Amino acid sequence: MTNQADPTALPQCAVAVDLVVLTVREGQLCVLTVRRGIPPFRGRFALPGGFVLPDEGLEAAAYRELAEEAGLARGAVTLEQLRTFGELQRDPRGRVVSVAYLALGAGLPDPLGGSDASSAQFEPVSGYLAHPAGPTALAFDHPMILAAGVERARAKLEYTGNGVAFCPPEFTVGELRGVYESVWDLAIDPANFHRKVTNAAGFLVPTGERTSRGGGRPAALYRADPAAVLHPPILRG
């Protein structure tokens, strides 16, 4: 039994944060990855993240890593805790428990690698999900973390207003449908989607303005609350 009165006798276990940062680019759901500049897995792509410092909380560590490894400011994304990953062999350096976060953002800029990341980029999630093992897979247990983050994002679009996190502050229903199609990776009937989102109580608020930026006839612009609960839900498939 550990001597709880002696701090030096505490089990040796490091705590880290890892981030699944998602955005939509050119009609595809993309994830932020960084090329590791240090061992282990030097040269391999991984999710951004790192160890929690002794004097900081988990969320503060997540925002620090976003700034250090990708140049993203606190207000650029919405952030929520995803889950904890603690398999014994997940890190070859020793016992490391990682608290994963899901971050969603619209129009995120090209990232700038920094800290222990030699470069950073947004890549479609489809390639990483299709190849969770092998030389091109993400380092550590990051394929598992990415899969969990993508599924959380997809599921939350069914019953919350999280889809607007990928949209500009004012958007059309067509632009919102494009987000759903990109995140869910499936085609959606335009008329059916329009009926569902405009009938979801408390979700979309008309601005009274219209835009032609998508081409064709001017379309109505809306705002929305990402914290809204969709009733009825908008189900996949």
- Enumerate domains of the chain plus CATH numbers: 7-156 (3.90.79.10), 160-224 (1.10.10.10)
Q: 120: closest CA among 74, 75, 69, 76?
A: 69
**Is 80 exceeded by the pLDDT of residue 171?**
yes
Q: Measured between alpha carbons, how far is 100 from 81 in angstroms, rounded to an integer?
A: 6
User: Measured between alpha carbons, how far is residue 159 from residues 44, 92, 175, 203, 231 in Å?
Assistant: 36, 39, 18, 11, 7
Name every residue whose Cβ is closer than 8 Å to that of residue 196 and which is 6 or more positions away in sequence. 232, 234
Query: What's the average model confidence in pLDDT over 195-210?
Result: 93
Please give the mean pLDDT across all residues of the chain. 92
What pLDDT digit, counting tens, does each position of 113-150 carry? 766 767 889 999 999 999 999 989 999 999 999 999 99
Is 78's pLDDT higher than 60?
A: yes
Q: Name the pTM for this structure.
A: 0.93
